[in-house]
Amino acid sequence: MMTSQPTTQLCVWYDGDCPVCRQEVALYHHIDRQQRIAWIDIVALTDSELPSDKSRADLLGRFHAREANGPWHIGVDAFAAIWEQIPVLRRLALLFRTPGIRQLAELFYRGFLKWQRRHRARRNNQIGLI
């Protein structure tokens, strides 16, 4: 298992129970040939392995990334931080940091989060009925 805070890479915390998140992380992992990103499955961490300044609920609520003890990148900013690390995606990072586009992307991301929560609740209810 990866440690929760490697010192030289961009660390990205993701929801390992989210199928969309797992697919996206697998894609990024595949194209990150220089392995500049440490992928950390929040669900697999014990409470003591969580970053001291974030709760599990914080990390599961929105996408989080940061470089060794640097500032947190949250939501769309976390995606841009990832894209900056992967050469073929750097231009996408610049685009998403553009005012207006960033705000629009954040609205879409928040919409996805609402869908994900409803979908997860529905899936959990179906599992409970079996």
SS3 115: helix
Q: What is the pLDDT of residues 56-65, one digit of tens each?
A: 999 999 999 9
Q: What is the pLDDT of residues 29-46, one digit of tens each?
A: 999 988 999 999 999 999
All residues at 6 or more sequence positions from 52 whose CB lies less than 8 Å from its CB, including other chains: none
> Using CA atoms, how far apart are residues 102 and 94, in angstroms rounded to an integer?
10
Q: What percent of the chain has pLDDT over 90?
A: 64
Consecutive 10-residue runs of the chain (130 residues): their mean pLDDT?
Answer: 55 92 93 92 96 94 90 95 95 93 93 84 65
> Using CA atoms, how far apart are residues 37 and 19, in angstroms rounded to an integer?
20
pTM of this structure: 0.80
Cβ neighbours, 10 Å, residue 85: 20
